[in-house]
């Protein structure tokens, strides 16, 4: 799966921000410590620098399924 990569400073700029009506950004960390957002967020938003973010292959963090 392809996602868009951000810096920590860019993550802070997107906290609590709507990327489309009633839809909010949710940056997360991947397995390599990269901050990422989804292609849906990148494509649906009107923020040019978000649209210009580089794309990388998503590597999910391993989850320890305690539950």
Q: Which residues bind another protein (CB under 8 A)?
A: 1, 3, 20-28, 36-41, 58, 60, 63, 65-67
Dist CA 15 CA 51 (whole Å): 16
Q: Are strands 2-6 and 35-38 parallel, antiparallel or unpaired?
A: antiparallel
Report the alpha-carbon distance of residue 45 to residue 18 in Å, rounded: 8
CB 28 to another protein: min, Å: 5
Smallest distance from another protein to CB 10, Å: 15
Between 40 and 49, CB nearer to another protein: 40
The CA distance from 1 to 49, in Å, is 21
Q: To the nearest whole angstrom, how small is the minimum distance from the Cβ of residue 49 to another protein?
A: 19
């Amino acid at each position: 799966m392809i996602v868009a990569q951000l810096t920590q400073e860019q993550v802070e700029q997107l906290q609590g921000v709507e990327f489309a009506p009633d839809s909010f950004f949710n940056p997360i960390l991947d397995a390599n410590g990269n901050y990422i957002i989804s292609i849906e967020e990148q494509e649906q938003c009107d923020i040019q620098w978000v649209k210009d973010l580089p794309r990388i292959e998503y590597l999910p963090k391993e989850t320890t399924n305690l539950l």
